[in-house]
Structure 1
Amino acid sequence: MAHDALQPRPADSLLTGAGLALLVHLLLIVGLTVAVDWHSAEPETVSAELWAAVPETAAPPPAPEPPAPAPEPKPEPKPAPEPKPAPPQAAPDRDAQIAIERAERRKKEEEREKRELAEKQAAEKKAAEKKAREKEEADKKAREKEEADKKAKAEADAKKKADAQKAADQKAEAQRLAKLRDDQLKRMQNSLGGTGTGSPTSTGTGARDAGPSASYGGKLRRLIKDNTIFNESVNGNPQVEIEVRAGPTGTIIARRVTKPSGLPSWDDAVIRAIDRMGTLPRDVDGRVPPVIVITARPHD
């Protein structure tokens, strides 16, 4: 087939190029071998023997000097041998590498486990200490609460006992005052012959009137007014009634409000005035009524 000049030249065959290169290398090797063997030769050796003559004779003429040996041709320097390629390094043992990696991982795991164990022990110790502190505080609070409960119970029992004792004392005092009043009335009746039937404030004409005289009430009111301290302004003129009990000598034994005025401060002021008096005045006949009801108003 004719080749078109406009088209690129087809590539040569690789086999042809490879064969030519191989042939050139072979020829070069053969030429080098022949050249090196042709210039190499064994060096010539010269030997000489020396004999000692017994008779002394004239020395023979010197032998002609042998011709100087032809200078040996210097061998051409051999081409430097091609450097041998370095042997490939042996691949590292995969099993040994794996064993080393496993050992490192195992060491790291052991270190991590030790660290986690130490952290866990520290956390457990801290939790145990916190729990111990909380238990100690709870026990302390429980003891304080128990002591407070015991103290409150003791105070309540003491108060209850004191209230019971006070009630018993008041009851005993009331019974004593009642008995004293009855005894006083009996003595008064006996002193009047046992025939008087009038009330303490009666003004009738019975056998004998044991009540105070007409002027005794005014006298008693003046004494109470002189001992009363009351500075409050009051609307109206409220009246308080107070029962007073006295002994034969006039000593006031008891007093109580039988009818309050509706103004506690006025009632308390009259009670304090009676306490300041301490004793009831004697009547015109020298006697002191054992029981009398006193009325008082702030504007009287």
Structure 2
Amino acid sequence: MREDKASPGRLPAAILAVLVHLLFIVFLIFSVNWKSHPPAPVMADLWEALPPPPARPVVQPRPAPKPKPEPVVEPPPAQPRPDIALKEKKQKEREQKQRQERKQQAQLAQQKQAEAQQRKQQLLQQQEAEQRKLAEQEKQQQKQQQDAKRKQDELKHKQEALRKLNEQQARDIMNKELANETSRLRQAEQASRLGAEQAKMEAAYKERIRSKIASMLNLPENMVGNPKAVFAVTVLPSGEVAQVKLISSSGQPAYDTAVERAILKAVPLPLPPDKTVAARFHDLVLPIQPKQEN
């Protein structure tokens, strides 16, 4: 079976109750004994005169209690106002957003600059290729002229040698070689003349294409200066445009767009009648300006 154990808190209370009862019993006993004694006789002393009153003791005033120092209560730390904290938080977020935007803008500017540099490099490479091609053609023409001159000199030497032969035989041989050489010289001259005419025709038709594009060009209202946009255009034998690609921007997007539209409006582009020259117009590099520079 489970035994009840008195808790430490209940034991003093029981002792206190017993003591209170004991005191109450003692009080009753003394009260009964006091009432049971007879009353004491009353005795009185007679005095001829009243004794002087006793001297009153001098009562020293109590010193005033020292005031207790009041405890110093430190004010609670100032809490930031909710509206100020919210405003600071928004300001930090706005500054962080501005830093991110500036960083993105810098990256975009670097990317655009790299693309522009790449397009410029491509344009320079194409121009250098065209210059090398023209220089090679000129070199071939000079070589043909030198060969023709050398053959003329050789022919003169042959003519001098043939004079010593039989006049008839020499005449026949000379005439035959002269005719052959004359034919070769004529062909060389024709080829040189044809090359010059083809180069002239190519330049003329490129200018005609630029003029036609310029006549279709609607300049934007906010255009500044004399911008220059360079496009790579793929032209079909019919004069139709298969592809238009911007390879060097003018720096004014509105003008670049207007030039691209003008190229498409100028279709069909004028092509030279010579098929050999027309074949060179398949891949064109066209610099377009409102005021064409020479």
Q: Which TM-score bucket, shorter chain as reference? A: 0.3 to 0.5
TM-score using structure 2 length:
0.39
TM-score normalised by structure 1 residue count? 0.38
Instruction: Give the structure with higher Rg (CA).
Output: 1
